[in-house]
Structure 1
Amino acid sequence: MAVMIPAHPPKVHLERHAERELWERFRDKLSDDFRVYHSLPYLRQNGAQGEIDFLVVHRELGMLVVECKGKGVERANGQWYRMLKEGGRERLDKSPAEQARGQVEHIVKGLGDPMRRAIGNDRTSHFPFLYGWAVAFPFGPGPNKKTLDFPPEVLLLSRDLTGDLEGALARIMAFHGAKLPVRIPPLSQPHFEAACAVISPDVEVPFETRAASLDRERESLVELSEHQQSVVRGLMANPRVRVQGGAGTGKTLLALHAAREMARRGKRVLLTCFNIGLAEHLAECIEKRGEGFEGSIEVTHFHGLCERASALLGKPFGPPRGAAREEIVDFWMHRSAAILLDAIVEGHEEVRGWDAIIVDEGQDFGEDWWAVLDESLADPKQGHRWIFYDERQTIFGRPSCVPEDGMIFGLSENFRTTHAICDDLNQLIDSPMYPHALAPVGEPTSIYPMWGPSKTQKKLGELLEQLTTRDGVALDQVVILSPHSPERSTPGAPGELGGVKLVYEIAERGQGVLFTTIQSFKGLEAEVVILVDVDVDNDWYSQELRYVAASRAMLRLYVFAKSSWPN
């Protein structure tokens, strides 16, 4: 594997998905003779800071600046554009070639003298490395070569990344070498090390930071096994399927995979769930992949679909003002589903005609809802209805009522958490889960006493300050969960703790550390979870609620408990 600097991959989000893909290809397909620098900062001649997507360095081949572009970048009518996720496109200030060439010029000018001095060759004006640039399109066939404004020889396409990547880099460097006025010989190993030290001076880190430890452990987590993916393909012929499994066994990933697989086959797919936050997460996951399907995938929570039906019928949506609790419950459990059924019967295509319906966290659905969803299928009897569920996560005060028709498939291998967290979870359920063999061991759960409001705030603030400020854990990797609303929790709902900003809406996650309820965060996950107001002696903090809360943690779990944990 190549030596990657830094050693941890970029986080996956829409704008950097291509960079993550290219980072992984460089790491896995290149030998350790290569050093690959990602997001390398440099100073432009005007003093402004720039950033290079990738700088690939090899003792014999030389130094290559690689500009990485995703699917949404294209050239049309002599101009380069970036496609916008909300539709339309915007023109790029510079073409990919102009960006890469400019970065090479800055690197050669800025590092030439220091590098020559470092290797003891300051009497020549030549840069001591063979150097060049390339443009990478990790996804798909890449741009039409006939429309390019740069030589096709410097393209790195998906077939290069999955094939002989070292050969492709050698080919590009040979292309650049043929254009130089003089031949630049390979560096000796000591000179190569000295040159790399100029590119990115070593910083001695006497211990592994918690942030680095979390990144390393997350890389060890297996997202979805080939066996499970093959199971989805094998089950495609079955219209009614139930997939049952514990937290972290891959249900949501399988639901996403099933939705994509059906859309690839030209089906119109509804991917739905109960929780608003989970629906937003599922929609983001579909959007991140940016795949084009012959069919389509619509993602919404169940009551979002009911609200759409209400608008189509021209009716207000929601329980009446001042309604009693029984009326409110009746609306959300029964009346909302009846509104959806009315719109289906009236023939509104916006809420009916699905070829397939995929339900995640199906144990949260009301009994009336299943018949309504079946009626929304293009073929109510033979249309695909797949349900992913865990009956041990019924925390909304109603029993699970998943239909018992169709094939059932069980999951028992935990892909999401460390061995240590999985051990905690197994103390809260009857049938055990088994952590994946490649999952990290992790650290045991840290348990703190639950004090009064002021002392809990102080200790919680110290923990947040330690994690985010001193250990470098990102804000979006940490979540605080309580069975109560933040305002009614022991710590209250302050604006910050320990100098760390808190936010209270899932949509604001990353702008501060999220503090929300266990119920709102159901179906979601975080690298670090802090549980507060834990009281195993109170009936309202049920075993099911503790199981749901603890299973949100992937790598670290901290518990502020009034008594013991987990039982």
Structure 2
Amino acid sequence: MTGVEADERTEPQVCGQPREDSVAEQAVLARLRAQLPAEVAIICGQRVTSETSDAEIDMLIIWPERGIVVLEVKCGQVSMRDGAWYTSGRHGSTRLKRGPLEQAMEAKHTLARWLKPRTSFGPGRMVQMACLPFSSLRDWTALPDAPGELLIDEAGLERIADRIEHALSCFGADHPPITAAAVPLMCRQLRQTHHASEASRMRAAELDSRSNQLTAEQERILSVLRYQTRAGLSGGPGSGKTHLALLKARQLTRDGMRVAVMCYSRGLARLMQLTVAQWEPSERPAYVGLFHDLPLQWGADTGADDDSHYWEVELPQQLHDLALKQEKAQLFDAIIVDEGQDFSDIWWQAVESCLREPATGILYAFTDEHQRIFDRAGAAPITMNPFYLGENLRNVDTIVESIAGLASEPQIVRLHGGDPVEFVDVPFDEALTTADDILADIADSDEWDLSQVALLTTGQRHPVQREIVDSEGYDAYWDAFFAGEDPFYGHVLGFKGLDREVVVLCANGFRDPQRAREMMYVGMSRARFRLIVVGDIAELARLTSGDVDARRR
């Protein structure tokens, strides 16, 4: 969170703005700013997307040494009659689908799930409250699910800070409050995920637009596949595989099916979660996320991060066994797998077991065999030949030409006029330092905003990536990427399905030289408009059978 330090302020720091059309939110914020102490942080309109839900919090109040309040603000005159909530305004009385405290409670649970993997301290003391600034609770009769201590009416605004402090002491005393030291980190991560959600709204709008302007090839394939229960779609980078996978999942969900969308890459999974969260609830698949997260949600035993046998064999086997014990209502009518070349045979067996009808249930696999950069073999249980997506809708022509030798199928290029790919010839052990210098040059040139740049490594992870992941966790790391506010430091292995306008590909070695060709193919194809390859060009040419161009910068 940016701004002056708390000891220099005379009122709480506020991030975001209340909705322009909400007089109620503006009135509540004015009272909060007047009454709460300077060390409190207030975040307006906080969007939070977890693996299973999406919520927008009207006001999030983070009070060091007291706790966190999720505050739902309701305009109009709000009342409860016969156990139901109503709001009255110029257009009469309307029954609310959910009461304000129920909305706040659901948002609180979503926030708690979101915080768990991102912070070591956890949410701690947290309470849901509702503020009804234009209503009177003078004749209110408290109910078990709506205690008066959690509701603030017009009269309560005069002492809203006291009401919040009282609620935190009464309803959250079993948990320790958030510390002052933890507040800046929490606020920064919350704003990153909010900005990531805002960017996803634009991507979702683009997805809707593109779905109405599909290429003739994509439209034909979707039409042919309309009634296919098992299908594989293959295509190179930028061919729209993830786009079509999400459209297919949305279509099946609209048809009333229970659908799962899964992949292996954390970044790609987060991209799909953030995109799907922008859709109407009736269009959202039942599960969107990592293949490995589904068994954990179903109660699988956890394992160590560095235990490869657990992730490769044990957890997939647990998913298979857990699926056999699930009620049919929890299984799926259809499963969509993106980047299916990452899945081993035992994983595919687990995937099939998650279908209500394992032998005949709908299964779609989107793959690119030339992006098989992990040492595992597997084939989707689909007998028909794959449909090939031959158009590149993402990379400029010069980048497509630079990877042509690494691909077995030519692509039809849609974006022309790109700059030549740059190659910087340095030994592998000097590539990281050189890549950092190039990033500094890009910053000095003002030609590109650094938020449009990614620095990807092929060997050791960049120190900045290690620092963020080790201190804040993978979820916060990926939300920072989707927020699009800073240069991104990543590894080729985790960047499949993603892209940025400019990529500095740092070839600083390969853990498995036999996979160098595939890793260069993936890394080079992540750049949309400008690509700079840094590394030992002669050695790259040897490892890739001469298919990495040896031009120099």
Report the TM-score range of the alignment, normalised by the length of the smaller protein.
0.5 to 0.7
Partner of 1:113: none
Q: Is the 8 A contact 1:393 1:544 kept in 2?
A: yes
Q: Write the distance in 1 (CA, Å) between the matches of 2:341 and 2:378.
A: 5
Question: Greater share of helix residues, 1 or 2?
Answer: 2
Q: Write the distance in 1 (CA, Å) between the matches of 2:46 and 2:449.
A: 29
| 1:195-274 equivalences in 2 (<5 Å) | 225-227=214-216, 228-229=218-219, 231-274=221-264
Q: Is the 8 A contact 1:267 1:295 kept in 2?
A: no
The residue matched to 1:427 in structure 2 has which SS? Answer: helix
Is the alpha carbon distance of 1:316 and 1:404 closer, same or farther for their aligned partners in structure 2, counting shifts above 3 Å? closer
Q: Is the 8 A contact 1:75 1:147 kept in 2?
A: no
Compute the RMSD of aligned alpha carbons: 4.2
Partner of 1:293: 282
Q: CA deviation digits over 1:414-467, x for unaligned, max 9?
A: 11100010101112122211212xx1321110111225767862x434422332
1:476 shift after superposition: 3.0
For structure 2, the residue ranges without an aligned partner over 5 or more in a row are: 1-15, 29-43, 49-53, 60-71, 76-88, 94-205, 469-474, 542-547
Q: What amino acid is aligned across from residue 55 of structure 2 in structure 1?
A: G
Partner of 1:466: 441
Is the alpha carbon distance of 1:454 and 1:415 closer, same or farther for their aligned partners in structure 2, counting shifts above 3 Å? closer
Shifted more, 339-348 versus 467-476: the winner is: 467-476
Q: Write the distance in 1 (CA, Å) between the matches of 2:420 and 2:25.
A: 59
| 1:31-430 equivalences in 2 (<5 Å) | 86-87=54-55, 90=58, 146=91, 225-227=214-216, 228-229=218-219, 231-288=221-278, 290-293=279-282, 296-309=285-298, 311=299, 316-318=301-303, 328-347=307-326, 352-406=330-384, 408-430=386-408
Shifted more, 468-477 versus 353-362: the winner is: 468-477
Q: CA deviation digits over 1:310-353, x for unaligned, max 9?
A: x2xxx53225x9xxx9xx44322221111011211222568x42
Is the alpha carbon distance of 1:494 and 1:147 closer, same or farther for their aligned partners in structure 2, counting shifts above 3 Å? same
Partner of 1:44: none
Is the alpha carbon distance of 1:89 and 1:534 closer, same or farther for their aligned partners in structure 2, counting shifts above 3 Å? closer
What percentage of residue pairs aligned between the two structures are identical? 26
Q: CA deviation digits over 1:127-163, x for unaligned, max 9?
A: xxxxxxxxxxxxxxxxx99589xxxxxxxxxxxxxxx
Q: Is the 8 A contact 1:363 1:400 kept in 2?
A: yes
Partner of 2:156: none
Q: Which has the higher contact order (CA 8 A, sep 6+)?
A: 2
Q: Is the 8 A contact 2:465 2:489 kept in 1?
A: no
Is the alpha carbon distance of 1:349 and 1:474 closer, same or farther for their aligned partners in structure 2, counting shifts above 3 Å? farther
For structure 1, the residue ranges without an aligned partner over 5 or more in a row are: 1-50, 53-67, 96-143, 149-217, 496-502
Matched, 1:517 2:495: no
Q: What amino acid is aligned across from residue 254 of structure 2 in structure 1?
A: R
Q: Write the distance in 2 (CA, Å) between the matches of 1:226 and 1:460.
A: 37
Q: Write the distance in 2 (CA, Å) between the matches of 1:373 and 1:514.
A: 32
Q: What amino acid is aligned across from residue 247 of structure 1 in structure 2?
A: P
Q: CA deviation digits over 1:102-138, x for unaligned, max 9?
A: xxxxxxxxxxxxxxxxxxxxxxxxxxxxxxxxxxxxx
Partner of 1:8: none
Q: Choose which of 447, 460, 485 in structure 1 pairs with 2:423.
A: 447
Is the alpha carbon distance of 1:381 and 1:455 closer, same or farther for their aligned partners in structure 2, counting shifts above 3 Å? closer
Q: Write the distance in 2 (CA, Å) between the matches of 1:527 and 1:389.
A: 23
Query: TM-score if structure 1 supplies the norm length?
Result: 0.55
Is the alpha carbon distance of 1:563 and 1:239 closer, same or farther for their aligned partners in structure 2, counting shifts above 3 Å? same
Larger Rg: 1
Q: What amino acid is aligned across from residue 338 of structure 2 in structure 1?
A: D
Q: Choose which of 530, 536, 540 in structure 2 pairs with 1:562.
A: 536
The residue matched to 1:266 in structure 2 has which SS? Answer: coil
Q: Write the distance in 1 (CA, Å) between the matches of 2:410 and 2:242.
A: 19
Q: What amino acid is aligned across from residue 523 of structure 1 in structure 2?
A: G
Q: CA deviation digits over 1:238-264, x for unaligned, max 9?
A: 110110111111111110111111112
Q: What amino acid is aligned across from residue 554 of structure 1 in structure 2?
A: R
The residue matched to 2:497 in structure 1 has which SS? Answer: coil
Shifted more, 412-421 versus 380-389: the winner is: 380-389
Shifted more, 413-422 versus 337-346: the winner is: 337-346
Q: What amino acid is aligned across from residue 464 of structure 1 in structure 2?
A: L
Q: Write the distance in 2 (CA, Å) between the matches of 1:429 and 1:511.
A: 33
Q: Is the 8 A contact 1:534 1:541 kept in 2?
A: no
Partner of 1:179: none
Partner of 2:525: 551
Q: What amino acid is aligned across from residue 442 of structure 1 in structure 2?
A: G
Q: Choose which of 410, 413, 419 in structure 2 pairs with 1:435.
A: 413
Q: Write the distance in 2 (CA, Å) between the matches of 1:534 and 1:292.
A: 44
Q: Write the distance in 2 (CA, Å) between the matches of 1:435 and 1:376.
A: 38
Q: What amino acid is aligned across from residue 293 of structure 1 in structure 2?
A: S
